[in-house]
Structure 1
Amino acid sequence: MSADNEITYSVVVPVYGNEGSVESVTRRLEEIALQLEGRLEVVFVIDGSPDRSGLVLEKVLPGSTIDSQLVYHSRNFGSFAAIRTGLAVARGELIGVMAADLQEPPELMLSFFATMSTGDVDVVVGRRESRDDPAVSSFMSRTFWNLYRKWIEPEIPRGGVDVFGCTRDVARQLLALDESHSSLVGLLYWVGYRRAEVPYSRSRREQGKSGWTIHRRIRYLLDSVFSFTDLPISVLTGIGAGGMVLTVLASVIVFGGWLTDRISVSGYAPLMLTILLSTFSLLYGLGVVGSYVWRTYENSKGRPTSIVMESKVFNRAGA
């Protein structure tokens, strides 16, 4: 692997509204570092967090027994942008990614690193076996990931991917795919490589409130759909084909009624139905095509997915 004075492992932790848990995350990662043969660093990315998460970490990290980096975004760009920032600055050869709310046990990093250290695996994802979440939240999550598996990536675990690990080479490939309004999880599966899954149980959130709202779930699902599948275009094509068949049938019926003098107001009903159907189809089609065009336009701007405002590096205490 690496020399003794080099960092072997990195853990990337996006932070937003996690003031109450970031110190606990640091302490548990310190315990994990004791069980690793190489040096471990943790990269905290403050993604425009509105609380005191950054100030708490600035007090804790200088006295920590592990190396660390503290990176500040200029505003909230989203957790996936924060993960990309962390991957870009991480110095380890093996990289783990976890949330700061402790719903996914940090000890998973040990399993991830051990699995990748064999040299037979490039990507490790956590497979959620159970979750201690409120019923509504659990139902929403299952629905979201079921749709994701059905429409976008059938190989993804049923509970989705909230925590993963990868080699530096995989991280480099992910960063090379500089796409706006895309899905990091989708890209993780798109790049391929040798994958493995590690089962775990998700814990109930004890600190803070999740920012994973219904609106963000829907937006993320739509970004994933338009970035990784032509399903909307296929649906639009199907609607167009179905509408054409219905139009032909309606034409036959109208023509038959005209021949038998059964239509009192000539052309009124089929004309109205045709106008309604064609208007709806055109609006729907414009919306679908517009979504693809808008995302293409956003990517053509060349804007960065995030802006780093400040970064700090802390060497482990006593080093």
Structure 2
Amino acid sequence: MITTSTLRPDTDAMAAPSPRSVDPDTPPPGARSLSCVIPCFNEGANLRHLLPLLEDVLWATRMHWEIIVVDDGSTDDTAAVAEAWCDLSGFRCISLSRNFGKEAALTAGLAAAGGDAVVLLDGDLQHSPELIHAMLAQWQAGAEVVYAVREARHDESRFKQLGSRLFYRLMNDSDRFSVPKDAGDFRLMDRKVVDALKSLPERSRFMKGLYAWVGFRAVALPYTPAPRTQGASSFNARRLVSLAIDGLTAFTTWPLRMVSVVGLLFAVPALSYGIFVAIDHLLFGNAVSGWTTIVVSLMFFIGIQMISTGIVGEYIARIYEEAKGRPLYVVRQERGTGLGAGQP
């Protein structure tokens, strides 16, 4: 055990670094390295508590480590809180030029992470840093991905729970791979998994689907998320629906197939009825009537056609976004050196 004196930011005010004595376990020769990526949007109040907790957990691993905070265009003091730690070894802050979304922030963090293993966790304290020890144990036992799975969703509305079940059922219609239910971004990934994710070129990124698509040996780790104590989640209903649409259009083609099936289901009866009416009129002389029925049927089919056009339009929009080739994010500023700084 080596006692060193470091400057650690005051966790209450975060105004200026203050001395703190820590007793880190020196990583043994040849120790492996661990990166922790924290995407943040307006999480300044939570970061004040999370960073010291996470630092203590990482010192106990006896690994070389780094903490990378990705500020996704926050309007509060998230960047200031994170940058106050960047004079210490192992801390790094990446500030994006605006809010690009969590998927882009995660991608930026993965691009910057240099560890042999990478842990992703939210900055709202709902992902307990203590679970990292269990993740590392599974990784050292041979797992290449260790993902945390929520044991219960009692804190969510019935509508959100039903929507979640429907989403995963639609997503997992493929027999090639499946997205684990109730698993979020809280996970540990081996370096080879991170490199595989970094090699994927698409810009419309649905990370939960990408985690599953790259494969590798994965182990589920049940956990119960802690309640949020500061601030409110930035994922409202509109953003959740948008994320679900991104996931469905990025990893499934069944909506396009559904358009063809629905068209066939309506076209065959309509054609059959048309033939029946024509024969009835030609053979028996019965007059063709029912203008109200015709108008209602016409409006119904127009509605089906508009929905079908919208579904196809969603896929075309994704093609358009990919064709533009714009970067996923733009970095405004970087502070700290992460694993580039020498740790005891």
TM-score, length of structure 1 as denominator length = 0.89
**Is 2:322 the counterpart of 1:299?**
yes
Residue type of the alignment partner of 1:93: D
Equivalents in 1 of 2:310, 2:331: separation in Å?
Answer: 34
Distance 1:305 1:9 in 2: 25
2:147 is aligned with 1:122: no
Percent sequence identity is 26
Please state whether the residue corresponding to 2:147 is helix, strand or coil: strand
Deviation digits for residues 255-294 of structure 1 (CA, Å, limit 9, x no counterpart): 35424444364x7456535633442333222212111111
Do the aligned residues in 2 keep the contact of 1:174 with 1:191 (CA within 8 Å)?
yes
Among 164, 167, 174, the residue aligned to 1:145? 164
Q: Is 1:239 matched with 2:257?
A: no
State the alpha-carbon separation in 2 of the partners of residues 165 and 318 from structure 1.
Answer: 22
How much has 1:74 moved relative to structure 2? 0.2
CA distance in 2, matches of 1:252, 1:301: 48
Cα deviation, residue 111, structure 1 = 1.7
1:144–1:217 CA contact under 8 A, matched in 2: no
Residues 1:4 and 1:306: Cα distance change in structure 2 (over 3 Å)? farther
* Residue 53 (structure 1) aligned with residue 78 (structure 2): yes
Unaligned stretches of 5+ residues in structure 2: 1-26
Counterpart check, 1:263 vs 2:287: yes
- Kindly indicate whether residue 44 of structure 2 is the aligned counterpart of residue 22 of structure 1: no
Aligned structure 1 segments of 4 or more residues deviating by more than 6 angstroms: 315-318
Query: Contact conserved, 1:124 with 1:195, CA < 8 A, in 2?
Result: yes
- Which of 221, 231, 237 aligns to 1:198? It is 221
Change beyond 3 A, Cα 1:140–1:73: farther
The aligned residue for residue 199 of structure 2 is 176
Structure 1 residue 5, shift from structure 2 partner: 8.1
Counting matched residue pairs gives 311
Listed as ranges, the matches of 1:90-129 within 5 Å are 90-118=113-141, 120-129=142-151
Instruction: Letter of the 1:280 partner, please give it.
Output: G
* Equivalent residue letter for 2:139: M
* 2:239 match: 216
CA positional deviation for 1:216: 0.7
- Alignment-mate amino acid for residue 166 of structure 2: L
Paired amino acid for 1:125: Y
* Partners of 1:141 and 1:112 in 2: CA distance: 28
> 3-state DSSP class of the match of 1:161?
strand
RMSD: 2.4
Q: Which moved more, 1:78-87 or 1:122-131?
A: 122-131
| 2:212 corresponds to | 189
The 1:260/1:272 distance shift into structure 2, 3 A limit, reads farther
Give the superposition deviation at 1:242.
0.5
Contact 1:127–1:161, Cα closer than 8 Å, also in 2:
yes
Whether the 8 Å CA contact 1:9–1:92 is kept in 2: the answer is yes
Cα 1:246–1:270 shift into 2, 3 Å:
farther
CA deviations 1:45-89 (Å, max 9, x no partner) are 0000110011122224435xx611100000000111111101111
* Contact 1:7-1:41 at 8 Å conserved across structures: no
The 5 A counterparts of 1:278-297 are 278-297=301-320
Q: Which runs of 5+ in 1 are unaligned?
A: none
- Give, in whole Å, the separation in 1 of the partners of 2:326 and 2:159: 32
Provide the secondary structure at the position in 2 that maps to 1:209.
coil
- Provide Cα deviations, 1:281-313, integer angstroms capped at 9, x if missing partner: 332222121111110111011111111111011
User: 2: CA distance between counterparts of 1:41 and 1:16?
Assistant: 20
Say which SS state the counterpart of residue 21 (structure 1) adopts. helix
- Pair 1:60–1:175, CA change in 2 (3 A): same
Letter in 1 for 2:149: R
Decide whether the 8 Å contact of 2:31 with 2:62 is kept in 1: no
| TM-score in terms of structure 2 length | 0.83
Residues 80-137 of structure 1, C-alpha deviation per residue, up to 9 Å, x if partnerless? 111110111111110000000011211122222221122x22111101112562x42x
Output the CA distance in 1 between the equivalents of 2:63 and 2:336. 19
Q: Does the alignment pair 1:77 with 2:96?
A: no
